[in-house]
């Protein structure tokens, strides 16, 4: 059985241009011969866990995953019964209830301010930068904030809602540059505390709150990097809430990672170790959730920018590891490195996208989207 597993995995890797114990940066080095049967039976989850357990290594995980994705390797591996059962349950069980939604705040965004300060740009922005004319991570993130605010057509005195405000960068930028009043919400206690501190003295209210508890009316609404935590069973409800919150002549901007196919689950390793209860929406799922509610004014894909953003985050993470390793162990280092570089490779292979979508109730005369 062990020899069969090895031959199957070796063929899959070979077809993806990956050599076992080869010399190229995207090749894989095997340290434990049980690797093959473990991966064949456990798929994506086993691959990530085996890496964390030092069963295998690769000089350039981003290249490794880019090649796996381009070869559509996952579609060539039979799904086992356990994975099929989990997929079926995900279609009917709401993994993103109010109680479950708090889990990602505790397990991911509250991992520690030092980690994110070392990894992110100077404004603590944890969403894709806009690299069109940028050379550095700071420039890319500033360009993203500028692009977002221009798409929203912010004007002094407007009331602006930031759903999933992170560490407060967009709220602060919008209040300072456009003189708008901002309400920002988050389900991370560390983000809440940090955002409140940096937004002191500005017309900004930061709330530790679930989006389902929002009330009031807003001229503009944005959600950057939060929709990935909503879940397919809640998409329509989420859009209905936004519709009720948005003024008649308002604009809503949705910034989200997107999937090329509709699904009811996330990658199993990502769901267990990085973003519990998360999943990526497809074009069809967003379309169905907004049908009959909004006019879609603009759909902008700058997914390749996420590859550059993730590589910059990984560089920062590695550069500051000496400072961080007193708080996080070697297994965490390998987990986090795997997460960032895997995602970079998947974006590079164009298997994941980054969309900024502008919705309205129908702008008279149309809408001209800035780029």
- Report the catalytic residues: 343
Residues 6+ apart with CB under 8 A from 146: none
Q: Does the CA dihedral 153-155-161-162 come out positive or negative? A: positive
Beta bridge partners of 182: 160, 204
The CA distance from 53 to 27, in Å, is: 18
The CA distance from 135 to 154, in Å, is: 26
How would you classify the pairing of strands 181-186 and 218-224? Answer: unpaired
The CA distance from 193 to 207, in Å, is: 10
**Owner of token pair 């967003």:** 286
The CA distance from 4 to 8, in Å, is: 6
Q: Does the CA dihedral 99-100-101-106 come out positive or negative? A: positive
The CA distance from 59 to 24, in Å, is: 8
């Amino acid at each position: 059985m062990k020899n069969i597993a090895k031959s199957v995995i070796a063929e899959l890797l070979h077809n993806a241009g990956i050599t076992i114990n080869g010399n190229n940066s995207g090749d894989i080095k095997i340290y434990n011969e049980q690797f093959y049967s473990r991966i064949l039976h456990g798929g994506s989850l086993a691959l990530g866990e085996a890496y964390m357990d030092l069963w295998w290594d690769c000089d350039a995980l981003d290249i490794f995953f880019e090649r796996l994705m381009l070869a559509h390797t996952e579609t060539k591996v039979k799904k086992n019964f356990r994975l099929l059962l989990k997929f079926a349950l995900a279609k009917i069980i709401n993994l993103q209830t109010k109680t479950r939604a708090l889990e990602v705040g505790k397990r991911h965004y509250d991992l520690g301010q030092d980690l994110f300060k070392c990894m992110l740009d100077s404004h603590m922005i944890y969403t894709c930068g806009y690299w069109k004319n940028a050379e550095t991570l700071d420039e890319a993130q500033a360009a993203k904030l500028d692009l977002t605010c221009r798409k929203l057509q912010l004007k002094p005195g407007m009331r602006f809602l930031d759903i999933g405000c992170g560490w407060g960068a967009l709220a602060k930028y919008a209040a300072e540059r456009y003189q708008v009043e901002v309400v920002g919400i988050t389900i991370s206690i560390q983000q809440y505390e940090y955002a409140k501190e940096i937004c002191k003295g500005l017309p900004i209210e930061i709330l530790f709150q679930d989006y389902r508890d929002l009330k009031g009316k807003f001229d503009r609404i944005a959600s950057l990097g939060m929709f990935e935590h909503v879940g397919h069973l809640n998409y329509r409800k989420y859009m209905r809430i936004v519709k009720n919150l948005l003024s008649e002549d308002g604009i809503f901007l949705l910034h989200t990672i997107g999937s090329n196919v509709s699904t009811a689950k996330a990658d199993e390793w990502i769901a267990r170790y990085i973003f519990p209860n998360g999943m990526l929406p497809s074009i069809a799922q967003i379309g169905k959730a907004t049908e009959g509610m909004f006019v879609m004014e603009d759909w902008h894909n700058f997914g390749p920018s996420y590859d550059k953003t993730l590589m910059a985050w990984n560089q920062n993470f590695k550069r500051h590891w000496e400072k961080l390793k007193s708080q996080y162990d070697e297994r965490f280092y390998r987990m986090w490195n795997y997460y960032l570089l895997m995602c970079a490779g998947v974006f590079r292979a164009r298997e994941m996208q980054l969309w900024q979508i502008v919705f309205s109730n129908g702008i008279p005369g149309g809408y001209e989207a800035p780029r």
